[in-house]
């Protein structure tokens, strides 16, 4: 039986990623930048996880947002690095009178009832440019996608993923808070 030759992995070799081979432009179909939960397991954390641990996990994995699950595995919210900032920790610590390491994901997450989503059928008829404009106008870094007909949370759109796939800089402006103004005046 013939064997195959083993080669050394040279320092010049580059690790490839799927998006390197799927060049997109803003007029491409929106489904090209959609993370479909029918094909990909959503990045998730449990609601009772310490928020500092969730933040650490997200930073290590280079993930900006995770869905938050209850003990039955149902989505009860989302948490992003925006919610895991010092201002929000400070607020919860003082309201709940708890230590920094006792702040849980459920304290900082955006609850399900406050989330807005795109409809899958509308997304299927849209292009990437329309999605980007929607995210910018609504100051959304991430947006869930729902299948209204089947009453399913179908997937996710990420502005960061879109920017990476289109090879463009993209900054979704987050709403200014009192804490931001305070810190700007203080310095």
pLDDT in tens, 34-76: 999 999 999 999 999 999 999 999 999 999 999 999 999 999 9
**Is residue 118 domain-resident?**
yes
Q: Which residues have C-beta within 8 Å of that of residue 141, sequence separation ≥ 6?
A: 64, 65, 80, 82, 135, 158, 159, 160, 172, 174
- Stretch 17-40: mean pLDDT: 85
Q: What angle do CA 61, 32, 143 make, to 5 degrees?
A: 60
**Is residue 40 domain-resident?**
yes
Choose between 175 and 112: higher pLDDT. Answer: 112
**Is residue 18 domain-resident?**
no
Number of domains in the chain: 1
**Is residue 39 domain-resident?**
yes
pLDDT in tens, 70-113: 999 999 999 999 999 999 999 999 999 999 999 999 999 999 99
**Is residue 17 domain-resident?**
no
Distance (Å, whole) CA 79 – CA 115: 11
**Is residue 136 domain-resident?**
yes
Nearest residue to 142 (alpha-carbon basis) of 160, 165, 127: 160
pLDDT score of 18: 67
**Is residue 152 domain-resident?**
yes
What is the CATH number for 97? 3.10.580.10
Residue numbers of the domain that contains 91: 29-181
Residue 153 has pLDDT above 70, yes or no: yes
Question: Binning pLDDT at 50, 70 and 90, where does residue 115 land?
Answer: very high
**Is residue 65 domain-resident?**
yes
């Amino acid at each position: 039986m013939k064997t195959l030759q083993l080669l050394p992995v040279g320092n010049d070799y580059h690790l490839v990623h799927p998006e390197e081979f799927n060049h997109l432009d803003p007029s491409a179909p929106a489904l090209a930048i959609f993370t479909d939960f029918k094909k990909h397991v959503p990045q998730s954390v449990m609601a009772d996880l310490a928020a500092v641990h969730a933040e650490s996990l997200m930073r290590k994995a280079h993930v900006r947002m995770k869905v938050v699950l209850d003990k039955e595995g149902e989505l009860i919210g989302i948490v992003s690095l925006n919610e895991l900032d010092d201002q929000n920790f400070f607020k919860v610590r003082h309201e709940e009178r708890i230590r920094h390491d006792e702040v849980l994901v459920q304290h900082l997450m955006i609850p399900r009832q406050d989330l807005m989503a795109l409809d899958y059928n509308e997304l299927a008829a849209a292009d990437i440019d329309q999605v980007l404009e929607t995210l910018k106008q609504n100051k959304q870094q991430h947006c869930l996608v729902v299948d209204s007909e089947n009453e399913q949370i179908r997937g996710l759109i990420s502005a960061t993923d879109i920017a990476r796939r289109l090879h463009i800089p993209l900054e979704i402006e987050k709403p200014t808070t009192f804490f931001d103004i305070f810190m700007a005046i203080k310095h």
